[in-house]
């Protein structure tokens, strides 16, 4: 399909097709990071946590395989940072985690839901895009830059694999092969468990494909879509920065051009809409009261600003970043989980308060 295309066209088509697949699977399987961490906090076994682990392990194995086969340089991605802005990563991750819980969905999940008619999610993704762009290049950029400069933690090697090679004197290919094998084996065990228990099989298989889509993003932007004369940043699936760029593209269409991230967002919207249409799940949904809208807006602001400081969202850092084994991603995802715990506590307290008020009436 891509043989006769220019690199720019490959990036656009690749982003759109990857987004389409993510939208189809995300809508039909209900794949969701917020639900995964909530399951972990509550000790439930509804399949989302297992699905997220499968997607993560497959993303690691498949990405490292692409790196090995095509000699991809992940240093060209945003996640390999040799001097970690520790305060920004941790604070941004916590902000994103809290926002994700109080808005009932991460950035990627909100895009999927908005395409099915969820007006709450539409408001949230607009808020995420605006606050993210303000933090990246607008009014809040000086604050972000100040936070990034507070504590810089230097690393000789920005990722776990190369640090292990240097620390233990091992061969890089040996470590990489071991990582691929172990991650693939663990993913296979988790998928097999779904079949043995006959529990959430479709969700687990969807997670398997979603993990593969992460490697697909690296392959599209770093191999078949790479142009040595006009190089673009190596990237995979992520939603906050592309969401801001997509909004800007819609506003000044004649003054800018589409890119991989913008087409990714468009593909997710199209895929989720088609899935909901086929499954007869298109439905307009809105806020039940003004206070609920304020909570969702606050969640959107926290996610947008937080993701920019943390160099990614729960998909951008949680899958794409983690697949590179970068220390920045490990720190960011840990902070997102910590923030999610705080947000989960806030939502639990709010539920208890409403229950008491209802009982008093």
Q: Tell me: the pLDDT tens digits for 51-75? A: 999 999 999 999 999 999 998 999 8
Count other C-beta atoms under 10 Å from residue 163's C-beta.
Answer: 16
Q: What is the pLDDT of residue 95?
A: 97
CA 44 from chain center: how many Å?
23
Q: What is the pLDDT of residue 357?
A: 64
Gap between the Cα atoms of 152 and 302, Å rounded: 23
Establish if 52 belongs to a structural domain: yes
Residue 116 has pLDDT above 90, yes or no: yes
Establish if 1 belongs to a structural domain: no
pTM: 0.93
Higher pLDDT, 343 or 250: 343
8 Å CB contact between 66 and 148: no
Residue 153: beta bridge partners?
84
**Per the structure block, which two tokens stand in for 27?**
């809508």
What is the percentage of the chain residues whose pLDDT exceeds 70?
A: 97
> What confidence tier does 1 reach under pLDDT thresholds 50, 70, 90?
low
Establish if 302 belongs to a structural domain: yes
When the pLDDT of each residue in the chain is averaged and rounded to a whole number, the result is: 91
Establish if 3 belongs to a structural domain: no
Domain interval for residue 158: 8-360
Residue 50 has pLDDT above 70, yes or no: yes
> What confidence tier does 361 reach under pLDDT thresholds 50, 70, 90?
low
Q: What is the pLDDT of residue 297?
A: 96
Count other C-beta atoms under 10 Å from residue 142's C-beta.
Answer: 9
Number of independent structural domains in the chain: 1
Establish if 322 belongs to a structural domain: yes
**Per the structure block, which two tokens stand in for 240?**
């906050």
| Residue 131, H or E segment | helix 119-137
pLDDT, tens only, 206-225: 999 999 999 999 999 999 98
Mean pLDDT to the nearest integer, 90-98: 96
Establish if 120 belongs to a structural domain: yes
8 Å CB contact between 159 and 82: no
Higher pLDDT, 305 or 241: 305
Q: What is the pLDDT of residue 2?
A: 64
The position carrying tokens 């997607």 is 55
Q: What is the pLDDT of residue 257?
A: 84
Residue 203 has pLDDT above 90, yes or no: yes
Establish if 299 belongs to a structural domain: yes
| Residue 40, H or E segment | helix 33-42
Mean pLDDT to the nearest integer, 121-135: 94
Q: What is the pLDDT of residue 96?
A: 96
CA 339 from chain center: how many Å?
15
Mean pLDDT to the nearest integer, 86-107: 95
Higher pLDDT, 191 or 230: 191
Mean pLDDT to the nearest integer, 26-30: 96
- Nearest Cα neighbor of 221 from 7, 23, 69, 4 is 7
User: Ramachandran region of residue 312, left (φ > 0), alpha (ψ -120 to 50) or beta?
Assistant: left
> How many CA atoms does the CB half-sphere of 326 hold within 13 Å?
31
Establish if 2 belongs to a structural domain: no
Gap between the Cα atoms of 301 and 213, Å rounded: 27
pLDDT, tens only, 144-168: 999 998 888 888 888 888 888 888 8
Total count of residues recorded for the chain: 361
Q: What is the pLDDT of residue 197?
A: 87
Q: What is the pLDDT of residue 359?
A: 66
Residue 172 has pLDDT above 90, yes or no: no
């Amino acid at each position: 399909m891509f043989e006769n295309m220019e690199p720019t066209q490959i990036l656009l088509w690749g982003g759109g097709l990857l987004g389409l697949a993510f939208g189809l699977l995300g809508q039909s399987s209900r794949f969701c990071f917020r639900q995964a961490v909530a399951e972990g906090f509550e000790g439930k076994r509804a399949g989302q946590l297992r699905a997220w682990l499968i997607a993560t392990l497959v993303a690691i194995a498949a990405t490292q395989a692409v790196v090995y086969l095509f000699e991809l340089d992940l240093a060209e991605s945003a996640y390999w940072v040799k001097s970690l802005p520790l305060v920004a990563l941790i604070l941004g991750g916590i902000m994103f985690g809290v926002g994700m819980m109080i808005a009932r969905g991460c950035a990627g999940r909100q895009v999927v839901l908005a395409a099915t008619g969820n007006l709450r999610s539409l408001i949230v993704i607009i808020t995420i895009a605006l606050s993210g762009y303000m933090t990246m290049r607008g009014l809040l950029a000086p604050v972000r830059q100040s936070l990034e400069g507070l504590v810089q933690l230097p690393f000789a090697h920005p990722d776990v694999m190369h640090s292990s090679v240097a620390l233990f004197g091992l061969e890089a290919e040996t470590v990489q092969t071991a990582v691929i094998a172990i991650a693939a084996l663990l993913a296979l065990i988790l998928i097999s468990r779904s079949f043995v228990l006959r529990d959430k099989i479709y969700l687990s298989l969807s997670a398997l494909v979603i993990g593969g889509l992460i490697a697909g993003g690296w392959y599209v932007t770093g191999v078949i879509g790479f142009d040595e004369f006009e190089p673009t940043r190596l990237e995979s699936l992520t939603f906050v920065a592309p969401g801001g760029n997509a909004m800007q593209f819609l506003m000044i269409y004649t003054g800018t051009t589409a890119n991989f991230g913008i087409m990714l967002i468009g593909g997710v919207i199209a895929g989720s809409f088609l899935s909901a249409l086929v499954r007869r799940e298109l439905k307009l949904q809105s806020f039940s009261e003004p206070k609920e809208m304020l909570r969702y807006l606050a969640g959107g602001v926290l996610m947008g600003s937080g993701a920019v400081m943390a160099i990614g969202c729960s998909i951008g850092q949680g899958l794409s970043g983690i697949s590179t084994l970068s220390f920045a991603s490990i720190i960011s995802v840990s902070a997102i989980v910590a923030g999610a715990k705080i947000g989960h506590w806030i939502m639990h307290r709010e539920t208890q308060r409403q229950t008491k008020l209802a009982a008093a009436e």
